[in-house]
Structure 1
Amino acid sequence: MEKNKNEFKYLRIAEVIERQILNNTLRAGDKIPSLRTLCREYGVSQNTALNAYYYLEGKMLIEARPQSGYYVSFSNARIPSIPKKTNPSTIANHGDSELLVSKVYGNLGENGHLALSLGTPANELLPIAKLNKALIQATRDLKGSGVASDKVEGNERLRRQIARWAFAMESHLTHEDIITTSGCLNALSYCMMAVAEKGDTVAMESPVSFGMLQLAEALGIKVLELPTHPQNGVDLNAFEDALKSKQVKASLLISNFSNPLGSCMADKNKETAVILSEKYNKPLIENDINGDVYFGKYRPKSCKTFDKTGIVLWCGSISKTLAPGYRVGWVAPGKFKEKVLRLKLFLTIASTSVTQEVIANFLETGRYENHLRKLRATLHGNMLKYSQIIGKYFPERTMASRPQGGFVIWVELPVKIDTMEVYEKTSRREISYAPGRIFSLQNQYNNCLRLNYGLQWNNKLEYRLIELGNLFKNT
């Protein structure tokens, strides 16, 4: 208890100074209060004050100068402008992005290769030792040591914990509303099959995760790409126009910290999206896999929060936040529960019982929240560092999104630069990023790329980011 109290104190102090730096009250070069002053003003120990400054140093917001004190090192002047709203074609498309995706991801896993193209945290940021310990415990606790199949709905303990966790977004789910799945993509595939058939059209944001595009391709479903703003998410006027169309059967939105833009829909926009979905009776599949990785004080709400009729199929997972290889996900499919349950029974039968038990334990004991608290701080710091390097070392007129959560940042380079062509050069230097072209079924975003800031920050990573920026400059 005392440890948590002290932790809260240093974070509270750090957040006050962080806000002053980010809103430009404190500017680059300004001296901040000494440790002695901080201790006196806040009534804390020198150790607590030091922890606050170490936290800010870790985000590259301040720097220590020998015999002089601490100074602001972060500059808003170095932060690139935010890209404008996208403008995709209004024609629904079938497409084939498999060749492009394979080209980018075919060499991942090679030793020394810097995987800036991924959208998951590095192993160094995950509590692997604690997961291993919990895995051993799960085999002891479960009937048959976890060998026996679980019920189709999934591990009841896990479903109860997911429902409890959902209260953070002001949702009123119960464990009976939830079905566990093998990761979020598996949940999305059940949802897509439940609400659309081959030849149908589903409306999505543009750009959108290539996993969503490949899923649609595999099911023979067309994708209508919608204009999307890097900060606020999908354009609601375009969204309504899509739902009016007889051609569109459903929509799929990444409401919180979308991939690849990092956008987050305002709560009122989420509510409007649900109201429109109900009005036109078009199911809304919600991918909320990044909702727990927020940089503000509170978890943003989901579209499911505003769902009163069961029109929203809410999907989530810990694949991006805790244990990618465990493939533990879930869906609250609303009024489509029976369809989704039948699909799971036919295609999977049951989810892996041992890994579900581990995640249930992490949620129940509070270890997941403790891990998330550290992860959020690390990712926020990394995002700020990436933004400064992009602003300083990438070509002039480069723009970048400013995500308030998640793992990825979207970069828009001058139009003359083709990021797929440059990828050949960077790949030879063992640097992998995700070219913008793979996030659309249309011929667009050729001058864009997505970068993963969920890596362990070190001098090597900083150097390689600067190297990447210089490669684009010299193109």
Structure 2
Amino acid sequence: MKTIGTAEKGRRPLYEEVAHRLSHMVDDGTFRPGEKVPSIRAMSTRLQVSVNTVKTAYGMLEDRRVIEARPQSGYYVCARLPALPTEPDARRPLLGAAAVESGAMVSRIMRDVNDPDRVQFGAAIPDPRLLPSEKLSRIMAAEMRRTKDHGTGYAMGMGLPKLRQQIARHMLKAGVTLAPDEILITSGASEAVSLAMKVLCRPGDTVAIGAPVYFNFLQMFRDMGLKVLEVPSSPVDGIHLDALERALSRNRVSACLQVTNFNNPLGVSLSEEKKRDLVALLKRYRVPLVEDDINGDIAFDGIRPGVCKAHDDNGMVILCSSFSKTLAPGYRIGWMAPGRFAERVQRLKMVSTLATATPTQLAVAEFLANGGYEHHLRRLRRTCADRVAAMGEMVGDTFPEGTRVTRPKGGFTLWVEMPETVDSMKLYTTLETQGITVAPGSLFSTGDSFHNYLRLNAAPFTPETRWALEAVGEAACGLV
């Protein structure tokens, strides 16, 4: 690396020159996403400038998301993605309240999850190699020995107090103050959302959602006999509130469901201002909000986003989440803060599943208290960011010309728009014979608006599975 000459030093502040030099080396590929850059002291020596100058330059590059600091490791180049796709057409008319069709394709995709020989780009499940499985197993064994008979009994009522206390403490990072007694432990976030919907709705009622929406929710509504009112959403800033207001003014809506942080499948988070406006809008129309925050902990920049529940002043927001994306999907530890609907939700929980498994509650509670959850999240976030970026880059290189891909800042899914001629259902069938599973876009709506879209799970995208994404791109090109 060349030193900064005297002439260069006179042109701009030294820290800006250092930042420009390193940024240029990232742009030209000298340092690629995920690679380590020289330490502050090494850069100071090489450029013959002070340590403080380099420290200021690195701080500027962190703000620009060019590099990121990793505790006790150094500075690394941040993950990058191709350009954002254009927003979905906001002029697309609102669908009328519609029934959900049969979930045969959803059943096929969920069946494929259990096939170890398939590359799992379809279902949004975490890579088990990134989860603290051994540590959780040790903790569970120790807790079962410590609690003896209590560990094999029912955790009746709201769930284990220790777990609810730890969740309340953790959610302070999301800007919401919850008492442990306001939290109910559920069997995953799916049960939490299901309980909320069963309390708020009756067969024939209408639920407002942002489209596209997680396909399991659509199947849940179908089984409950609910109608769905889809509201256009953008991969840039989420649900269009003006469209939602028009929908609320023209339809009788019993509840609104939103994934507010790192939405599945768009990957978008609502801004804090938009979360506040959403709560205020629904309050005016007296419509309860069911908020799913399952991906909130997987923020690539490490800053935990807030939740709509933080703006709730009348108990009309039901906050739902789980540890399925960050710790252990099979433990089925979810939770909800039901607000004013707590008594009805608790009663329904008692008559449906009675209680959530005690051993897994014990393990997760202890992991949150003393197992290093935040340390684990730092590694998970970094890896997810790198894999999302790498997958997005490869989509741009191998998919048909004109393909566009989202740039999520958290979670681990990508929403891909292909040329109109590509039918994602046909693509799914082609890939199924090659041992690859994807999620066709048409599953994420009651209509056919997303027939040429895919949701891809980046969690299992590694050098060992690059061949599979190449195969997806080749198959898509064959359908153009």
Same fold by TM-score greater than 0.5: yes
Please give the per-residue CA displacement for 1:115-152, whole angstroms capped at 9, x wherever unaligned: 10021211111111101101101212225151111221
Structure 2 CA distance for partners of 1:34 and 1:348, relative to 1, 3 Å: closer
Residues 222-301 of structure 1 mapped to structure 2, 5 A cutoff: 222-301=227-306
Distance 1:192 1:22 in 2: 51
Q: Could you tell me how far apart the structure 1 residues matched to 2:244 and 2:111 are?
A: 35
Which residue of structure 2 aligns with residue 383 of structure 1?
388
- What is aligned with 1:350? 355
TM-score where L is the length of structure 2: 0.85
Per the TM alignment, residue 463 of structure 1 is displaced from its structure 2 partner at its CA by 2.3
Q: Deviations over 1:416-471 (max 9, x none)?
A: 0001111111111111110001111112201000000112622x212221221122
Structure 1 partner of 2:430: 425
Residue pair 2:88, 2:232 contacting (<8 A) in 1 also? no
Shift of the alpha carbon at 1:379? 0.3
| 1:66 alignment partner in structure 2 | none
> Structure 1: any 5+ residue segments left out of the alignment?
1-15, 62-73
Instruction: Normalising by structure 1, report the TM-score.
Output: 0.86
What SS is found at the alignment partner of 1:180? strand
TM-fit CA distance, 1:164: 0.7
Q: Deviations over 1:66-124 (max 9, x none)?
A: xxxxxxxx7x6x54634435636430110224112123333333242101002121111
2:56 is the alignment partner of 1:52 = no
DSSP 3-state at the match of 1:316:
strand
* Distance change (3 Å), C-alpha of 1:39 and 1:125: farther
Does the CA-based 8 Å contact 1:83-1:401 persist in structure 2? Answer: no
Q: Which range is displaced more, 194-203 or 348-357?
A: 348-357
Give secondary structure in 2 for the equivalent of 1:468. Answer: helix
Unaligned runs of 5+ in 2: 1-15, 55-69
Higher mean Cα deviation, 248-257 or 293-302?
A: 293-302
Which structure 2 residues correspond to residues 300-311 of structure 1 after superposition, within 5 A? 300-311=305-316
Match runs of 1:32-181 below 5 Å: 37-38=42-43, 40=45, 42=51, 51-52=73-74, 55-56=76-77, 78-79=82-83, 81-85=85-89, 87=92, 89-181=94-186
2:466 counterpart of 1:474:
no
Q: Distance in 2 between matches of 1:328 and 1:266?
A: 27
Q: CA RMSD in A?
A: 2.6
**Aligned to 2:254, what secondary structure does the other structure show?**
strand
Deviates more, 1:361-370 or 1:229-238: 361-370
- Name the CA shift for 1:189/1:42 in 2 (closer, same or farther; >3 Å): farther
Please state if 1:413 is matched with 2:449.
no
Q: 1:347 to 1:111 in 2, by over 3 A?
A: closer
Q: Is the 1:284–1:312 contact (alpha carbons within 8 Å) kept by the matching residues of 2?
A: yes
Task: Determine whether 1:202 maps to 2:207.
Answer: yes
Distance in 2 of aligned mates of 1:297 and 1:365? 20
Show the counterpart of 2:60.
none
Answer whether contact 1:39 1:49 (CA < 8 A) is retained.
no
Identity across the alignment (%): 36
Relative to structure 1, the CA distance from residue 42 to residue 102 in structure 2 (aligned partners, 3 Å threshold; closer, same or farther) is farther
AA aligned to 1:364 is: A
Secondary structure of the residue aligned to 2:207 is strand
CA drift at 1:348: 1.5
Alignment match, 1:220: 225
Question: Could you tell me how far apart the structure 1 residues matched to 2:442 and 2:205 are?
Answer: 24
Structure 2 CA distance for aligned equivalents of residues 248 and 429 of structure 1: 43
> Secondary structure of the equivalent of 2:74?
helix
Distance 2:108 2:330 in 1: 23
State the distance in 1 between where 2:140 and 2:93 align.
46
In the alignment, is the contact (CA less than 8 A) between 1:316 and 1:331 conserved in 2? yes
The reply to whether residue 462 of structure 1 matches residue 451 of structure 2 is no
